[in-house]
Amino acid sequence: MQGSPLLGAVYALNRLTLAAAGSTVLLAVGSCCLVAHVFVLNDWSGMSTDLQDPHRAGAVFVNRGVARRRIGFLWMALLALGLALLGALGVTTLMIALAIAGLSALYSFPRAQLKGVPVLNSALHFTGGLLHFLLGYSVFAAVDRRGVEIGCFFALVFVAGHLTHETRDSEGDSASGIQTNAVAFGKRQSFLGGLVLFGVADGLLVVLALAGTVPRFLAAVGALYPLHVYWGIETLRQGLNFETVHRLQVRYRALYAVVGVVMVAVRLGGW
């Protein structure tokens, strides 16, 4: 979750200076607080349903001796700190941070709970994924067409990853009455939808590389997708249960971590 805004900063940065390095550190800390707020709010809001999920119940904060009221204070404090730090980087960055917090509330907050509305929850993930990239991009450049185009790659990866996540957690979500895409349309459909969107994301990055929007060397990323497909087919054959899908997640997260490192290297190296 921190790779996207930091890569946004890298692709908007013209020259690395001491002041730019300081702004990047401030961005990293502020973004970390904001993302921590998103996760803590989601845990606070979903406490009751998480307690019904055998894969999550043991990690729920109340089962570890932490009162729900304290977790409530924690997500509010993280939000305030994150907004204060990101606000110091400019009005646009602050507005994007507020938009991310707003999407998080719509997705998780008990009276909204859009996480349980199929398709719409994926639309929220796409918008949120795009905004996370633009959060970093806005620190060093005005939000423009180039920023949005690159950000769409991260947004698509975010949506695809969450469709896979919903596949993994479908039994628990179904028992809790949460209508995710995997619950509404089936695990296989959600899983295949995620696999296809990963391919669309990689294809977009290849197109952007060939168009010169990002360094041309990044077109090589397209060669990694067949490996992802192979892992996906292997997972389907083994059965879409919590363990097999989780193993796939570990693999493709490592793959995209490598992609992120390559994106930074080719940008800073000027390839």
The model's pLDDT over 223-269, given as tens digits with 9 standing for 90+, comes to 999 999 999 999 999 999 999 999 999 999 999 898 888 888 877 77
Within 13 Å of residue 136, how many CA atoms lie on the same side as its CB?
Answer: 28
Residue 260 contacts residue 206 (beta carbons within 8 Å): no
SS3 119: coil
CB-based burial, 164-203: b 16+ in 10 Å, e otherwise: bbbbbbbbbbbebebbbbbbbbebeebbebbbebbbbbbe
Entry pTM:
0.89
Which pLDDT score is estimated for 191?
A: 96
Rg (CA), the chain: 19
Rounded CA-CA distance 105/113 in Å is 8
pLDDT band at 43 (very low <50, low <70, confident <90, very high): confident
* DSSP letter, residue 58: G
Kindly state which CATH superfamily the domain 1-142 is placed in: UbiA prenyltransferase (1.10.357.140)
Which pLDDT score is estimated for 163?
A: 95
SS3 111: coil
Phi, psi at residue 177, to the nearest 5°?
80, 25
Phi, psi at residue 55, to the nearest 5°?
-80, -15
Which pLDDT score is estimated for 47?
A: 77
The domains of the chain are located at: 1-142, 144-271
Q: Encode pLDDT of 107-160 as tens digits.
A: 887 776 788 889 999 999 999 999 999 999 999 999 999 999 999 999 999 999
Of 47, 182, 21, 38, the closest CA to residue 99 belongs to 38
